[in-house]
Amino acid sequence: MSEFKTGLTYETKRIVADSDTAAQFGSGGIAVFATPMMVGIMENAAMNCVGPYLEEGQTTVGTHLDVKHLAATPVGMEVRARAELLEIDGRRLRFKVEAFDQKEKIGEGFHERFIINTDKFLKKIAEKAQSS
């Protein structure tokens, strides 16, 4: 993890499809870009921001979100999400996240992810599934 440093950024883009709308997702009744989809691309940007710097056998998982959805985006418009690594505290990573459509900023906030050992995590999940 020696290559990790604050200031790393990553952007991801997508075109809003009918399946990305609040009406289709079940989070609202209007055919505009759903808040859960916006959060998803913000998390994706944060995950990809640090992914290349992880050691083999590691990944990150999202643990906290504090996000505002500021503006609606219609189907067919491009949305881009940007993540910037603000803080590194051991395995905890804190990001500033933003989302924009072709006209304006549509979302902003903060996101935390934790670096985990993939095999240990999957073993714990399997044990949890067996105990239910």
φ, ψ at 108 (rounded to 5°):
-160, 155
Let me know if residue 15 belongs to a domain: yes
Domain assignment present for residue 100? The answer is yes
> Is residue 2 domain-resident?
no
Instruction: Tell me: is residue 82 an annotated ligand-binding position.
Output: no
Q: What stretch of H or E contains 90? A: none
Domain that holds residue 57: 9-130
Distances from the Cα of 67 to the Cα of 3, 31, 51, 75, 121, angstroms = 28, 21, 22, 21, 26
pLDDT digits (tens, 9 = 90+) for 43-75: 999 999 999 999 999 999 999 999 999 999 999
Residues 58, 116: contact at Cβ < 8 Å?
Answer: yes
User: pTM of the entire structure?
Assistant: 0.94
Q: Assess whether 43 carries a catalytic annotation.
A: yes
Give the CATH number, domain containing residue 90: 3.10.129.10
Instruction: Tell me the CA distances in angstroms from 64 to 5, 16, 113, 132, one per residue in order.
Output: 20, 25, 7, 26
- Active-site residue (options: 12, 69, 111, 112): 69
pLDDT at 90 over 60: yes
Question: Which pLDDT does position 1 carry in this prediction?
Answer: 47
In a domain, 17, yes or no: yes
Q: Could you give the number of structural domains in the chain?
A: 1
| 113 assigned ligand-binding residue | yes
